[in-house]
Structure 1
Amino acid sequence: MTVSLRGTREVRKNCQVFHLLGQLDAFSEPTFQKVVLSHAKETSHLILDLSQIDFIDSSGLGALVRIAKHLEGTKGTLQIVSNPRVTQTVKMVRLEKFLKLKNSLEEALKDIQ
Structure 2
Amino acid sequence: MIEAVLAITTLMLVCCWRAACGSSVAEYAMAKSQHQQACMAGKGPVPEDAVLRRHFITQVCSEIEAGLSPRPTDSVLLRHHEALLTTKLEQRLAELGPLRAC
Same fold (TM over 0.5): no
Larger Cα-atom Rg? 2
More RCO (CA 8 Å, sep 6+): 2
Larger strand proportion of the pair: 1
Q: TM-score, normalised by structure 1?
A: 0.25
